[in-house]
Homo-oligomer: A and B are copies of this chain.
Amino acid sequence: MTQDIDIARIAALVGAPARAAMLLALGDGRALPAGDLAACAGVSAATASGHLGALREAGLLDIVRQGRHRYYRIASAQVAALLESLLLVAAQSPTRALRTRVDQRLQAGRTCYNHLAGRLGVALCDALIEREALRIDEEIAHFTRAGVALLAGFGLDTRALRHRPMSRTCIDWSERRHHLSGPTGVAIYRRCLELGWVRHHLDSRAVSVTKIGARGFQSTFGLAM
């Protein structure tokens, strides 16, 4: 049966953890550059490039050239549906039950490859937008003049972050909402660690907000914990 190997080919493509991480990062339809996806998957650029090429060749991913970047995104709604199906089956898989407790902790606050995600990451992003420190156009985040000042007061020199776009948004899988990623997102997370606002648990990607942090998020970003 020829179709056996067809579906096996597709499934095997999703079956490598690195590729699964990339697909999941793209799960909401955004387009991300290869470098970000490499970071998301925790592999080198070389490895990521190979994976992305394979996914594109199989028709799972589309490529959008824009400037010097090459943005990848999910090719069709069917592929997105396939990912949803997998999530559903994975969620009810028996081995999954053991992890559920950890996941709940992760939902509160965690890092998504060196930037803040979970409820904390989403709330911070919302607060920045509400204070008009951040604007999101075309799924790319820009800090306003007020935002740059705000970050300066927070101790971040935005001039040191010369990448363009300076920051990106990333949809959180538990909250299904935006949060800050990219170099700026990473810098904010690092600064939070320096200030002792959040603490990092060694055994997982979960982070928790300290007492000092709660006050800091409140006074600096207007973020009620």
Contacts and interface: CB of A to CB of B under 8 A. Distances in A.
A165 to B, nearest CB: 23
A198 interface: no
Report, as a range, how many residues of chain A touch the other chain.
35 or more
When all copies of this chain in the complex are counted, the total is: 2
A87 B82 CA distance: 10
Given A7-B24, A24-B1, A24-B4, A60 B89 contact: yes
B16 A3 contact: no
Interface in A74-126: 76, 78-79, 81-83, 85-96, 99, 102-103, 106, 112
Overall SS of chain A's interface: helix
Contacts of A59: 89, 92-94
Nearest to A5: B17
Which residue of A58, A78, A93, A205 has the most chain B CB atoms within 10 A of its CB atom? A93
A103 B106 CA distance: 47
Given A7-B14, A7-B86, 9 more contacts: A1-B24, A1-B205, A2-B106, A3-B24, A8-B17, A9-B93, A9-B95, A11-B86, A81-B85
20 contacts: A1-B24, A1-B205, A2-B102, A6-B90, A6-B99, A7-B14, A7-B20, A7-B24, A8-B14, A8-B16, A8-B21, A10-B89, A11-B13, A15-B15, A57-B95, A58-B93, A59-B92, A60-B89, A60-B93, A82-B88
Interface of A: 1-17, 19-21, 24, 57-60, 76, 78-79, 81-83, 85-96, 99, 102-103, 106, 112, 173, 205
